[in-house]
């Protein structure tokens, strides 16, 4: 047994802020001794100077993961589950401090930050339970004297590379299934938000994750590629799990091909949200608000293109604009904040570019359409744009901000065609009360996820992932463990 009793420890926020790498159960500086600044997107103030890792640190992490692998692989599933249950309990116990840390480095309001902690923790609990249910198969006998079976084994070392928009949930939902399966992990969080991931290492260590089974390095934007390159080339790393942009996903797939690793890629989206004229408009507005403005519009699954049938277009636009104009934009420290700052200057510039381009092409801002410079450099007003058209940049690219472009359509075929007219296929949404249409449209939409009269689709029990250039494989649910396992076929002959 790795642990017999669960000792809950509550940490102060200051105790959860670490600035070194976590390798082989120890906190170590980068081999180069270099550091980079992590800043609060609300104020631009430096929160910490963290390790700026490179090739040598990535290699040290892999070495530690390789040493830890045999014992962790051979641990009883119920013992791995116990460690994960303990990690889950510690995350929940420290939800307030972790939520504050997420707000501090990522900018989302505290209620959302705390919500993210509970969302991320739910994956840890889920995979703690799944750890004990990794079944194989006895294959029905084909020949006398021969027995065939299939067993599932951990793939080996997993490299987890995660984005800034959910600093806790994204890494938790990669580490938890990896550890549950018996894999060991090397990880790198995004350079904007490494602190929450580092804090999770404190809790994982406290929970009894053995030294070397879980290793995390941070790296600046400039050095990230060099650090990750070592994992791509190293044949001991058997799987890459990545959430982030499609260009980076393609790079990882290309560069890891030399050692033919398993890959799980959760990439960009360009989610359509269709409102048919038979929809409950109030429910559609509520669903759009929940899904579009989660994390200020900085999620891969948030609607990027909203298609509204002509006959209800003006009514829907008016109902939506009233709700959007009332959103409170403020720093995460304001208890009433509903939208915080965007992550960084590049993010605001992209939003501004998309909105200006749309207006140049004939869109009308019903509300918003400008920076909120009085609050700080990274704030953008929640925006509704009427008369959006397919030639606008925001129709083809993810805006990743609080902007709702409203496109008009006349019939179902036109809406489905427009929704699918993108290389991406992560989430999609539609609102309708017609049972036949619901059946038809949910089959026709080219997406890994379809929200039907529902804007909140994420859950640890559901398979999360995309099709087309939004990537492949699934996270969460009963399917989420498969990517961390390989099937071994055993054939025993010469039985009497």
> What residues make contact with ligand SIN under the rule CB under 6 A?
165-166, 169, 243, 299-301, 458, 464
Min dist. Cβ of residue 99 to ligand SIN (A) = 16
Backbone dihedral region for residue 185 (phi beyond 0: left; psi -120 to 50: alpha; all else: beta): beta
Min dist. Cβ of residue 495 to ligand SIN (A) = 48
Nearer to ligand SIN, 271 or 366 (CB): 271
CB burial readout 50-75, b (16+ within 10 A) else e: bbbbbbebbbbbbbbbbebbeebbeb
Nearer to ligand SIN, 108 or 239 (CB): 108
Min dist. Cβ of residue 463 to ligand SIN (A) = 12
In this structure, are strands 237-243 and 262-266 parallel, antiparallel, or unpaired?
Answer: parallel
Quote the CA–CA distance of 475 and 463 in Å, as a whole number: 6
Residue 248 makes CB contacts below 8 A (sequence gap 6+) with 242
Residue nearest to ligand SIN (CB): 458
CB burial readout 82-121, b (16+ within 10 A) else e: bbbbbbbbbbbbbbebbbbbbbbbbbbbbebbbbbbebbb
Helices (H) and strands (E) in the chain, counts: 15, 22
Choose the catalytic residue: 105, 116, 191, 266. 266
Min dist. Cβ of residue 18 to ligand SIN (A) = 24
Cα angle for residues 59, 65, 66 (degrees, 5° grid): 90
Q: What are phi and psi of 20, to 5 degrees?
A: -105, 170
Min dist. Cβ of residue 477 to ligand SIN (A) = 12
Min dist. Cβ of residue 170 to ligand SIN (A) = 6
Nearer to ligand SIN, 116 or 230 (CB): 116
Tokens of 392: 């606008």
Nearer to ligand SIN, 300 or 404 (CB): 300
What is the torsional sign of CA 82, 85, 91, 93? negative
Nearer to ligand SIN, 103 or 184 (CB): 103
Nearer to ligand SIN, 273 or 313 (CB): 273
Min dist. Cβ of residue 335 to ligand SIN (A) = 24
Contact 312, 305 (CB under 8 A): no
Nearer to ligand SIN, 101 or 169 (CB): 169
Quote the CA–CA distance of 225 and 219 in Å, as a whole number: 9
Reduced to 3 states (helix: H, G, I; strand: E, B; else coil), residue 31 is: coil
Choose the catalytic residue: 86, 183, 300, 302. 300
Catalytic residue at 183? no
Quote the CA–CA distance of 97 and 13 in Å, as a whole number: 5
Quote the CA–CA distance of 325 and 317 in Å, as a whole number: 12
Catalytic residue at 266? yes
Q: Which residues are catalytic?
A: 266, 300
């Amino acid at each position: 047994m790795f642990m017999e009793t669960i000792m809950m420890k509550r940490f102060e926020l200051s105790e959860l802020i670490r600035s070194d790498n976590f390798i082989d159960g120890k906190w170590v500086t980068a081999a180069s001794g270099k550091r980079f600044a992590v800043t609060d997107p609300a104020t631009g103030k430096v929160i910490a100077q963290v390790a700026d890792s490179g090739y040598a640190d990535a290699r040290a992490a892999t070495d530690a993961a390789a040493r830890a692998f045999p014992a962790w692989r051979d641990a009883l599933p119920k013992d791995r589950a116990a460690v994960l249950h303990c990690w889950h309990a510690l995350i929940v116990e420290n939800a307030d401090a972790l939520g504050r840390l997420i707000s501090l480095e990522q900018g989302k309001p505290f209620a959302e930050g705390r919500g993210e902690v509970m969302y991320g923790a739910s994956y840890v609990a889920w995979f703690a339970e799944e750890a004990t249910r990794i079944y194989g198969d006895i294959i029905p006998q084909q020949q006398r004297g021969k027995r065939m079976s299939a067993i599932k084994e951990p793939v080996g070392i997993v490299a987890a590379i995660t984005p800034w928009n959910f600093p806790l949930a994204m890494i938790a939902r990669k580490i938890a299934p990896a550890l549950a399966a018996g894999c060991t992990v090397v990880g790198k969080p995004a350079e904007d938000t490494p602190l929450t991931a580092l804090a999770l290492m404190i809790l994982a260590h406290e929970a009894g994750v053995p030294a070397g089974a879980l290793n995390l390095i941070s790296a600046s934007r400039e050095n990230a590629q060099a650090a990750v390159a070592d994992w791509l080339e190293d044949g001991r790393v058997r799987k890459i799990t990545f959430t982030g942009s499609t260009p980076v996903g393609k790079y990882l797939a290309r560069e890891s091909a030399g050692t033919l690793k398993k890959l799980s890629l959760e990439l960009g989206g360009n989610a359509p949200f269709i409102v048919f004229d038979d929809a409950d408009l109030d429910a559609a507005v509520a669903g759009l608000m929940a899904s579009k403005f989660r994390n200020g519009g900085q999620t891969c699954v948030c609607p990027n293109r909203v298609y509204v049938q002509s006959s209800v277009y003006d009514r829907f636009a008016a109902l939506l604009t009233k709700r959007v104009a009332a959103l409170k934009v403020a720093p995460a420290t304001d208890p009433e904040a509903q939208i915080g700052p965007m992550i960084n200057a590049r993010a605001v510039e992209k939003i501004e570019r998309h909105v200006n381009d749309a207006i140049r092409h004939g869109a009308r801002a019903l509300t918003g359409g400008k920076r909120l410079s009085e609050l700080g450099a990274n704030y953008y007003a929640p925006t509704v744009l009427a008369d959006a058209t397919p030639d606008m940049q925001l129709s083809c690219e993810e805006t990743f901000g609080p902007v709702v472009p409203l496109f008009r359509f006349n019939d179902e075929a036109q809406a489905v065609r427009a929704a699918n007219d993108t290389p991406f296929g992560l989430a999609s949404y539609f609102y309708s009360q017609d049972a036949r249409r619901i059946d038809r449209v949910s089959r026709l939409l080219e997406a890994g996820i379809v929200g039907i009269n529902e804007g909140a689709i994420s859950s640890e029990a559901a398979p999360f992932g995309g099709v087309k250039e939004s990537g492949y494989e699934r996270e969460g649910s009963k399917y989420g463990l498969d990517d961390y396992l390989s099937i071994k076929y055993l054939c025993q002959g010469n039985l009497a």
